[in-house]
Every structure is written in structure tokens, then in C-alpha cells.
Structure 1
Amino acid sequence: MDDVSNPYFIAYMREKKARREVEQLLEDSTRQLYKKNKLLEQQLLKIQQQQQSIVQQEKLATLGTLAAGVAHEINNPLAFVISNVDTLSSYTSELLNANVHPEQNSIAPSTLEMIAEDFPELITDTVQGLTRIKDIVRNLLFFARTDTELMSDMQLRDALELALKLLGPKLKNVLLTQQLDTVTTIPFNSGELNQVLINILVNAIQACESKPEKASEINVLLTQNTTHIILCIKDNGCGMDEETLTKMYDAFYTTKPVGTGTGMGMSIVLQILKQHNCEIDVQSELNIGTVVTLKFPISKG
């Protein structure tokens, strides 16, 4: 009996053919899976870039709401720096003229004494004014930074104090009370943490501005227990109804007038907090106020 008619040979060839077909099918499936995986990676990267773009746009929108107040904060120290420099320039001209032309010196001894006393104070005030401007610009740049992938150990109290400094001009008509305990550091992206805090505080300020008939009050409480750092921001502003509460995290949903809100603030806040395994709870009552509670898990490492 030849091989062609041998049942064992026929079975062997059938199995060999089936094995080849399975191997080819597996190879084809692997190749398709690889292509789909690469496409998925590209789409994921594109989505991450789009998210980053949206986050940055929201930052710029927030900076826009701060612009007028920041400009005022810079103008104040800038005004007395310019005034001091003018005075220093005048004093310097008089002293140089007296030194170059001693025969024409008409500076009275009392004037020289006054200049000597005034000079150090003018220099000190000018340095303080320039330092204030430098700090304002540095804080703005720190808030606007785009390195969202960098994580570091953050002191929440320091980040909160920075946010309150940035918002200082908008808080001038608000009774701000603070109880900020020194808490454990948390792993967080610095720019994203600033954005979360700024967004929530701006919402509280704008809610208070919506009720001009009431004395605006915002209370900030920072504490820690065995498992979480807890930040509570409470305002006595306009509050929210049930519908607004259920939609507050929806992208592009806003109750603010056109041009004053993007509707992305709380959506981004929720996204950032979820990425860092944090929790947010919002309790609000219309015409009474809002309480926002953030919980940051304490690392067990």
C-alpha cells in the first residue's frame, strides 16, 4: 500500500495542512492585532494631546479672569518703584553736580542730611516693589506651566497659599477665613494641583459676586486624618439647584454669562482628581452657598 492510500499518511497530511492553516491564521491575527494596537496607541496619544490642549485652554481662560486683578497688583508696586527711581535720579543728579562743580554747590547741609536719610529707604522700597512684581509674574508662570506629566511631592498648604496669592485682588471684598494645618506631602503634578485649587476658589468667588446684597464669606479648612488630607472650601454665595449639581461636571456646561466661563473647569477638575485617585464632594443649596470637599489619599509608602 503506497503512501497516498495509507490512512495514517492521509491523516498526517490532513493534520499538517490544518496546522499550517492554524499557524497562518494565528500569524494573520497577530499581524492585525499589532496593527490595531499601534493604531490604538496613536489614537490614545492624540486624545492625550487633545486633553492637554483643553486643559491649557482652560488655564488661559482662568488667567483671563485674573488678568485685571493681576494688572492692578503689578501697577501698585510699579507706580512707587517709578516714583522712587525718579526721586533717586534727582538726588543723584544733585550730588553728582555738587561733586563735579563744588564751587557752584548750592545744596544746603539740611538738604544733604535729608538725602542721606531718604536714600536707604528709597532703595529698600524699590527693591521690595520689584520683588513683589517678580513674585506675581513667577506665580503666574508657575500656574501656566505646561509640564503636566511631571509628578512631585507637593505640600498642599503651600499650593493653597500660592492660589490665594494669585487670587488676592479678587478676594479683597471677601471675608476670607483660613485654618490651614501642616499636612503630609502628596504626589501630584504641581500645575494640575494649582489648576484644581484655582478653579474651585474662582467658582466660590464668582458665586459670592452673584449675591452682592450679602457680605461675601469664604472659609478654607485644611486638615488630615489617618488616611486622607481633607480640603474644604465653603462659600455663602448663590449656591446651585439640583439640576446644576447633576450637570456641573459635564463638559461645556456653564451657568455663567457668555464670555465669563468655558464650562470646562469642573470637568477638568474631576478628570485631574480621578487621575490622582482623589475624591471630590460638592454640597450646595440655592441662595445659601456651596461646600466643596476634596480628599487626597495619604501614601502608605
Structure 2
Amino acid sequence: MVRIAVAGGTGGLGRTLVDELCQCDEHSVFVLSRKSQLSFEAPDNVHCLAIDYESVPQLQNLLESNQIHTVISTMNPPTPEVQTAQNNLIQAAAQSGTVKRFVPSEWGIDYFNDDEHVPLPWKTVKQQAIAELEKYPSLQYTMVHNGYFMDYFGMPQCQSHMLAEIPYVDIAAAKAAIPGSGNDKVTFTYTKDVAKFVRKLVESDDKWPTRTFIAGDVVTFHEIVEAAEQARGRKFDVVHDSLQDLREGKVTEIPAYRPIYKIFPKEFLLQMMAGFGVAMVTGIFAFEGKFLNEKHPEVRTTKMRDFIMTYWSGRH
């Protein structure tokens, strides 16, 4: 049995992790929240812990009194305020007498192995969390790198707790603004598959590596567009954004971006799309390393083509 605390467990990836971890009745899952009650119905082995991220002593006491063994952070967005909250959580976990493992909110790419010109505004925030963890050698940690979330290519039809974010290929509008040539290999993983692998990590007695690589599928954007065109039964209007334009923060707007401006300001969203585009074109999303998939072949990951065909076939 493992007692697990999930920071940010009320939505997005965190909620997906909670859904998977609580499938084992022997685990006790604690959702760390600023509110005293969960916003969703949960089984008996899921509990809500109201916390104050500004107080390290209070956090430490909460982790110790509930005998938390593993902390998983999915805190988002990576703002300075969230950075401070996560750093306080790391300090509290390290100083507690119960927490032995910590998964920081890195999810995505390896932010220590990227192009210095990748314009991702939260790169420094991600790196500083690892710098904080390095201060506590007794606390095991691993950065989970799963590439881009596949969920976005099945929205709004697919099952997902993620906020809507339609990157580069607007399947509903039959339009695409592809970073670079479209032939670069990119790693994508469905959040449900990420959760299955994280559960394997939590349940393993092996010492964690500092980096854990997960791959649901590795495909090019040309392959994504081809699958989408077949599913929709029509040709897409496709443009390509050059690496130079992406480095300058220039990205072609697709219709699917506009509704998202209510959540992320236009300038921020397009900068994010440009930054990820640079990372994709320069190979940062094509991971090199030992994958957790190899250790757990029983986890059958979702493939991008199947995913698109499942949720878009016949939707003309």
C-alpha cells in the first residue's frame, strides 16, 4: 500500500492521475487543495487535504500526520506563485519523516536538454524546481517526460480532464499550421496512458531515475494531418511555419486558438505554440533514453492514428 498526495489533483493531468491511482483499493490517495472539499465524486480511498502552500511547517505537519509516502505535483500554470508553492511543498516533503519520493510538475519535455533559443516562458520555473530537489539527496525524485498530450487531438469527443488546447492541427476546421517541414518526429502520450505508467512508478520498489521517459506514440505532423484527412474525408488547408519565424515568436493562427484566448491571452498562447514548435523542429520532442515502456510492455499505449480515427471518423 502507498499513501500518495497529488498536488493539483482536482483537474487536468492531476485528476487523471487520481482516477488511475485510486483504482487500487490498497492505495490511499490524498488530493492537496486550497479548498476543503473535492469538486468531484471520489471513491472512499480518495481524500481531500486543505492546505496553505505559503506555510512550510503547516505543509510538513500535514504530510507527516497523514503519513504521505509519495508526492506527485501537477501544479499549473508555472507562474512565480506556483513556483513558490511547489518549492515550499518540496521543502516540506524533504523535512517530513514520511515522504520518500517526489514527482515535480515537469510533464512534457526535458527542460534541461533543450535549445537555448526555445522561447518557453516557464523553462526557468521548471528548472528551479529541480534545483530545489537537488538540495535534499535523501528525497528520491523523477522528472516524467511524456511529450505532448495526445488528448488535444481528440477534443471535444475524447475522455479527458485537460483544458481545451488544439495545437497546430484544427481537425474540426480542416486547417493546420505545422511547425517546420512536418517531417520531424514528435512524442505524444494520452494522459490516461501517462497515469498508467505513473502508477507503475509509484508501485515499484526500484530506485527512481532522475528522468523517466514515456512514449505513447512517435509520429510526424504530416502523419497526423494524413490521419485527420482520412477521418474527416476531406483535404486540409495546410501551411508551414519556418523555424526562423517560430524562433521570433511568429506562429500562424488557426481557428481553434481563438476560443482559448478566454483562458490564455492571445500573445501568451501564440508564444507558447511558437516555443513548442521550435522544440519539435529541433528534435527536443524526439526523446533519447531508456523508456518506461520497455519495462512495462503490458501497458498498451494509445496510437495517434487510432486516436484520431476513433474520435473523428465520419464527422464531416
Structure 2 length normalisation: TM-score?
Answer: 0.22
Name the larger-Rg structure: 1
Structure 1 length normalisation: TM-score?
Answer: 0.23
Larger helix proportion, structure 1 or 2? Answer: 1
